[in-house]
Amino acid sequence: MNLKTPLTLEKIKNIKAGTQIFLSGTIFSMRDKAHKKMVEENFFPLNLKDQTIFYMGPSPTRPGHKSGSCGPTTSARMDKWTPTFVKKTGIICIIGKGERSQQVKEAMKGKILYLIAFGGLGALYAKCVKKSEVVLFKELGCEAVYKLEVENMPLIVAQDIKGENIL
């Protein structure tokens, strides 16, 4: 199934857990340090309503490329901040890898589509990136927030908005 950001509840309401997705459009990368900073400082400067975030940190970009390797990081590392992050930002989709805590699964139910990216495929995902720029927390290096334009990024729905989960 092809899916283009930004997403809406209307666009994702009938997508079921286990569905293969090819995602295109704008997404934002965020990892531990960005989540911690935003939640603990109650600082949410980006408009992330109906946006998609990807738990990843890019490798340095080689000359002639749009992005370095950009594989997923373990989603559970963000679990302590995710419920607050969901409430404060209005995000609609999270991309990561691995299972989430029960608390996070409940916080996402009815609001968030959780997509899993495949570990070990960072080089393939880098080929999906058509544009990449740091938009927040440049001082965090690979944990800065990047705005990415992606095309046909292969993912699987781990949890649909009804709460059905394949993990």
Domains within the chain, CATH numbers bracketed: 2-159 (3.20.130.10)
Contact of 3 with 19, CB cutoff 8 Å: no
Contact of 133 with 46, CB cutoff 8 Å: no
Query: From CA 89, how far away is CA 70, in angstroms rounded?
Result: 23
HEC states along 112-144?
Answer: CEEEECCCCCHHHHHHHEEEEEEEECHHHHHHC
Contact of 3 with 27, CB cutoff 8 Å: no
Give pLDDT, residue 84. 94
State the CB neighbour count (10 A cutoff) for residue 40. 10
Predicted confidence (pLDDT) at residue 63 exceeds the cutoff of 80: no
**Closest CA relative to residue 38, chosen from 81, 73, 76, 90:** 81
Query: pLDDT tens digits for 134-153?
Result: 999 999 988 899 999 999 99
